[in-house]
Amino acid sequence: QKEVEQNSGPLSVPEGAIASLNCTYSDRGSQSFFWYRQYSGKSPELIMSIYSNGDKEDGRFTAQLNKASQYVSLLIRDSQPSDSATYLCAVNPGGSYIPTFGRGTSLIVHP
């Protein structure tokens, strides 16, 4: 069973702080990694993808991948109340194009 683990939270951070969301996965052969944001009552929205070790930055978001340690993280700089949502980590196990989703981490950014 390929697993993707996330702390369910909630993770509460003050406005303007850095929010750090973490995800670990069990399949060492995994090649593709994604972060989705899901607002309450809405559908998941792809915000970041990362495929190689290291950091990938897009605006206020930075995805970090460490395949040796089997974790992927998402940093949100200058957090805003509008970032309050559930963040889903998704990992494509080796040999599969169907990602396995984690259960998501709830993020609350308070003013």
Judged by the rule CB under 8 A, the positions of this chain that interact with another protein are 31-32, 34, 36, 38, 42-46, 49, 51, 86, 88, 90, 92, 97-99, 101, 103-104
Beta carbons within 8 Å of 37's beta carbon, 6+ residues apart: 44, 45, 47, 85, 86, 87, 88
Decide whether 74 or 90 has the Cβ nearer to another protein: 90
Distance (Å, whole) CA 31 – CA 8: 24
Determine how β-strand 54-58 pairs with β-strand 105-110.
unpaired
In the complex, minimum distance from the CB of residue 65 to another protein, in angstroms, rounded to a whole number: 13
CB of 7 to another protein, least distance (A): 14
Complex with another protein: residue 72 or 90, whichever CB lies closer:
90
